[in-house]
Structure 1
Amino acid sequence: MEMINGHDPKPHAILFPYPLQGHVIPAVHLAVKLASRGFTITFVNTLSVHHQIVKSSQPGTTADNDDIFAGARKSGLDIRYKTISDGFPLGFDRSLNHDQFWEGVRYVFSAHVDELVGNMVGSEPPVTCLIADTFFVWTSMIASKYNLVNISFWTEPALVLSLYYHLDLLIKNGHFAKSHDNRKDTIKYIPGVEAIEPEDLMSYLQSTDTSTTVHRIIYQAFSDVKKADFILCNTVQELESDTISALQQKQPIYPIGPIFPSGFAKSSVATSLWSESNCTNWLDSKPTGSVLYVSFGSYAHASKRDIEEIAYGLLLSQVNFVWVLRPDIVSSDETDILPVGYEDQIKGRGLIVTWCCQIEVISHPAIGGFMTHCGWNSVLESVWCGVPLLAHPLLTDQFTNRKLVVDDWRIGLNLVDDHHKGKTITRDEAAEKISRLMGGKGGDDHELRKNIQEAKKILENALTKIGSSEKNLTQFIKDVTLKMIQKKYNYNKNIKH
């Protein structure tokens, strides 16, 4: 088989993250990781995401000059940066007009992608790979049109991938159907998944209305992923070995997580869609392990009542806390969400901010626990820092991630015990759970801390030179390079004929 220009080709991948904060962050770290292993990367953000990042960046950061990767390039990495329209004007409220926006992403966005990739075909080095978030519905079409290696990037645990991947089995067995009477018994037939309760499926697989925009995206995306040449997964082989092995029977899947910035320091690339408050001075004034960090992520909404009960629970527990409270946590137009006079009552022991650099906060020695929505980035970051979790899932994969955290790995507690039965939060239960997590009565914290230290070791080992994630990444690069040569060879052969 011929080499390209007499030597191994240099991979040049165009990388498309999904336009949500929790997907952009691991995609940026993946770009840096691959570029430091010899890839040329062209990273493509939507104009809307780019605009939010630049607007939120502190003056003097690399995002000021309209290129979030300028700093990474200075350190010698070949990462180019482009922006693309998502089909809507910048001022359009994507959160408020949720369905309209995602319909646009499903139908209109691929035309913009097609145009951009088409324009880049003659670039140097030649574009050879397409890396796109698994939730995009157009990846195989674009990859085959431009003869690119088709790489799907999965940002959630392998368990969630496997459940979506085997949607046909859930439908066939009546656990996910277009009816109100889905089976409620334990699911035991998903390859590599020992058993899972229907209540631990992702929220979209629990809902009775299965005709929504998001459902249509899921059906298309998870039939499309089966055409990918390779799937990269932000998880660790040892944490989900059975699930990953079963998926590897179907397709080449490479668990290369956790995908963090090197040294788990604040990223040199701006990724935040909100302005970040600096909590370091406040945390410096608190004893080691005494502060609970509370954050429900960048996307999901909570009810005003739940926020109020959590607020009183924090007050009653008497622990120190940092609470990230997005202005739109309840909704875009309801911003007055805390009980009247609350901030006066928590002076000195509670810090409320609208956003912060999560990595900086949870790696601070003062942090002793994390009340979380169980977004996958948050779970991995918490394990890396050895911080046990208090789980309060709100949406999508968070219910399934909660199962891993609380039931399987035993590194966290449920905020609400009977959350399966739709029981709501009460301030008393919240206060009691916070105390148990932070080492008060109940004594759970000792067991949780022991388990999370073991999980932390697994993550650290995976990223060493001889660790599973590092080996998988090396194998992936070899396989991609070979696939590129094959594609080039077949393409040239077809031209000659």
Structure 2
Amino acid sequence: MEELQKKQPHAIIISYPLQGHVIPTVHLAMKLASKGFTITFVNVESTHHKICKAQPHAAAGDDLFAGARESGLDIRYVTVSDGLPLEFDRSINLNEVLEAYLHLFPAMVDELVGKIVRTADPALNCLIADTFYAWQSTIANKYKLVHVSFWTEPALVFTLYYYLEFLRSNGHFASSQGNRKDAIDYIPGVESIQPTDLMSYLQDTDTSTTFHQIIFKAFDGVKRADFILCNTVHELESETILALNQKQPTFAIGPIFPSGFTKSIVPTSLWSKSDCTQWLSTKPTGSVLYVSFGSLVNVSKETIMELAHGLWLSGVSFIWVLRQDIVSSVETFSLPVGFEEGVKDKGLIVTWCSQIDVISHPSIGVLTHCGWNSVLESVWCTVPLLCFPLHTDQFTNRKLVVDYWRIGINLCDEKSITRREVAEKINRLMNEKSADELRNEIKKVKRILGNALISSSWILKS
């Protein structure tokens, strides 16, 4: 790092091709550039095309960081193939895509980084890549680059993956006799946690999947990183961060938001957005529930039906983000007969929207899948959370939200939900007294986030 500080810092940043990863990675690039870094931002070609398609008046050849450069930031932009044809349908061939990221993509990145190393001015001296990329330590070593692993989720989630061999050896993960059900109390920096609070991949009984192989390789490779950056806040996860620092230099640099918590000048959405602000402005403060389950995970038809009936029974006004592929990329779904007519004065259903615009409005509560970006953004906007995790880190994020910070309500502990349970929990969330109690706790967490935004500036600058 001392050698890097003596030179003009030039970092190549490589984003993981999922919405929840692209957003904080773009904002990290912007923050580093604002501190004097030259940045070469690498986007996966298929992700670039999807972002361009989602923007009005955008073209496939557009430079997504053109606006950032116009504002004075030295950010160069390039794309790289994932090894599959651009026209390949990634939405219905997920396993083939994951295999490509394991076996084809590393060679594509190696070739690109080598070219940039040979031609860059100022010279490239740092590689920052999403932790889930397993190849990064090999490429960083090959080109003699400082290796920074960027983790877009909480330190708690990182730590549980980091010590998955502890979980395995203690029988809580990948046990041939069936995983233990008792509390896990032996992970450094982690309070006692239940197996049901582990990420879904660590609750799975089949660990032979391609994504499990990605996790195993990624968390073997991350142990060779020079530095680990986490999109979290030290004061919220201090024991976990301190324990990680006993193993490797680890820095909490979150929350990574766009400057002023406004719309980013760099487009990051993989979906075309509807404008909900005019509809929202007609609703009283604290009266609208925003329902969103993120950009990737599927929800069963049965769950959609129970959620719809629950919303209807609750009587609250709502905005519901229902992606066209919410059930699957090849299967359609139907809302209950009479639902849209029955809620037409109270409900607005959209396929996607600007979440920041919606949750920053004073009339909002949130029913969320507990994606980490959504959690941090909701805290910043002091919005109460009703938690319904579906996949991966979302179960562990719920643990932080509901049990550690007490800023949200758990929708259910079972994999299936009922409409009456949904209606009851919505009304509890939106009740003035309980909402105020939650907001009081959220304000405490927001103050910590606000202080972290100031201190993270110093970390990134140094």
Q: Normalising by structure 2, what TM-score?
A: 0.97
Counterpart for residue 8 of structure 2: 10
The range that moved more, 138-147 or 448-457, is 448-457
Counterpart for residue 89 of structure 2: 93
Aligned positions, number: 461
Q: In 2, are the aligned partners of 1:16 and 1:131 still within 8 Å (CA)?
A: yes
% same residue: 66
Counterpart for residue 299 of structure 1: 296
Give how far 1:256 is off: 0.6
Counterpart for residue 237 of structure 2: 240
Q: Letter of the 1:274 partner, please give it.
A: W
Counterpart for residue 280 of structure 1: 277
Q: Letter of the 1:451 partner, please give it.
A: E
- The structure 2 residue matched to 1:374, chosen from 370, 374, 377, is 370
Distance in 2 (CA, whole Å) between partners of 1:213 and 1:3 is 38
Counterpart for residue 397 of structure 2: 401
Counterpart for residue 438 of structure 2: 448
Give how far 1:260 is off: 0.5
Give how far 1:121 is off: 1.0
Which deviations, in whole Å up to 9, do the C-alpha atoms of 1:126-160 show, x marking residues without a partner?
11010000000100000000000000000000000
Which deviations, in whole Å up to 9, do the C-alpha atoms of 1:251-283 show, x marking residues without a partner?
111101000000100111100001000111001
- The structure 1 residue matched to 2:448, chosen from 435, 444, 458, is 458
Give how far 1:415 is off: 1.1
Matches within 5 A, 1:149-164: 149-164=146-161
Distance in 2 (CA, whole Å) between partners of 1:343 and 1:208 is 39
Establish whether residue 212 from structure 1 lines up as the match of residue 202 from structure 2: no
Which deviations, in whole Å up to 9, do the C-alpha atoms of 1:269-315 show, x marking residues without a partner?
10000100011100111111111100000011111000110011111
Q: Letter of the 1:171 partner, please give it.
A: R
Counterpart for residue 145 of structure 2: 148
The range that moved more, 97-106 or 221-230, is 97-106
Structure-2 change in CA distance of 1:20 and 1:458 (3 Å): same
Distance in 2 (CA, whole Å) between partners of 1:199 and 1:32 is 37
Counterpart for residue 486 of structure 1: none
Which deviations, in whole Å up to 9, do the C-alpha atoms of 1:19-73 show, x marking residues without a partner?
10100000000000000000011111111000000000022x6x77611100000
Structure-2 change in CA distance of 1:2 and 1:447 (3 Å): closer
Residue segments in structure 1 that go unaligned for 5+ positions in a row: 479-497
- The structure 2 residue matched to 1:25, chosen from 19, 23, 26, is 23
Local SS of the residue matching 1:232: strand
Q: Letter of the 1:175 partner, please give it.
A: H
Distance in 1 (CA, whole Å) between partners of 2:259 and 2:348 is 28
Local SS of the residue matching 1:141: helix
Matches within 5 A, 1:337-486: 337-367=334-364, 369-416=365-412, 418-419=413-414, 422=415, 424-439=416-431, 443-464=433-454, 467=455, 469-474=456-461, 478=462
Q: In 2, are the aligned partners of 1:180 and 1:208 still within 8 Å (CA)?
A: no
- Could you list the runs of 4 or more consecutive aligned residues of structure 1 that deviate by over 6 angstroms after TM superposition? 1-4
Establish whether residue 84 from structure 1 lines up as the match of residue 74 from structure 2: no
Structure-2 change in CA distance of 1:281 and 1:180 (3 Å): farther
Distance in 2 (CA, whole Å) between partners of 1:2 and 1:33 is 20
Q: In 1, are the aligned partners of 2:185 and 2:193 still within 8 Å (CA)?
A: yes
Q: Letter of the 1:434 partner, please give it.
A: I
Q: In 2, are the aligned partners of 1:326 and 1:354 still within 8 Å (CA)?
A: yes
Distance in 1 (CA, whole Å) between partners of 2:180 and 2:48 is 43
The range that moved more, 444-453 or 199-208, is 444-453
Local SS of the residue matching 2:211: helix
Distance in 2 (CA, whole Å) between partners of 1:365 and 1:447 is 16
Q: Letter of the 2:356 partner, please give it.
A: I
Distance in 1 (CA, whole Å) between partners of 2:94 and 2:444 is 40
Distance in 1 (CA, whole Å) between partners of 2:47 and 2:338 is 35
Local SS of the residue matching 2:356: helix
Q: In 1, are the aligned partners of 2:43 and 2:78 still within 8 Å (CA)?
A: yes
Give how far 1:439 is off: 1.0
Counterpart for residue 485 of structure 1: none
Q: Supply the RMSD in Å over aligned alpha carbons.
A: 1.6
Give how far 1:473 is off: 2.5
Distance in 1 (CA, whole Å) between partners of 2:171 and 2:88 is 39
Structure-2 change in CA distance of 1:64 and 1:211 (3 Å): closer
Give how far 1:391 is off: 0.4
Establish whether residue 34 from structure 1 lines up as the match of residue 32 from structure 2: yes
Residue segments in structure 2 that go unaligned for 5+ positions in a row: none
Give how far 1:2 is off: 10
Give how far 1:338 is off: 1.5
Q: Normalising by structure 1, what TM-score?
A: 0.90
Which deviations, in whole Å up to 9, do the C-alpha atoms of 1:135-186 show, x marking residues without a partner?
0010000000000000000000000000000111111111112425111110
Distance in 2 (CA, whole Å) between partners of 1:308 and 1:462 is 41
Q: In 1, are the aligned partners of 2:286 and 2:363 still within 8 Å (CA)?
A: yes
Give how far 1:348 is off: 2.0
Which deviations, in whole Å up to 9, do the C-alpha atoms of 1:288-345 show, x marking residues without a partner?
1111100000011111000110011111111111111111010012223312332221
Counterpart for residue 494 of structure 1: none
Counterpart for residue 495 of structure 1: none
Q: Letter of the 2:442 partner, please give it.
A: I
Distance in 2 (CA, whole Å) between partners of 1:140 and 1:462 is 29
Q: In 2, are the aligned partners of 1:57 and 1:64 still within 8 Å (CA)?
A: no
Local SS of the residue matching 2:6: coil
Distance in 2 (CA, whole Å) between partners of 1:224 and 1:240 is 23
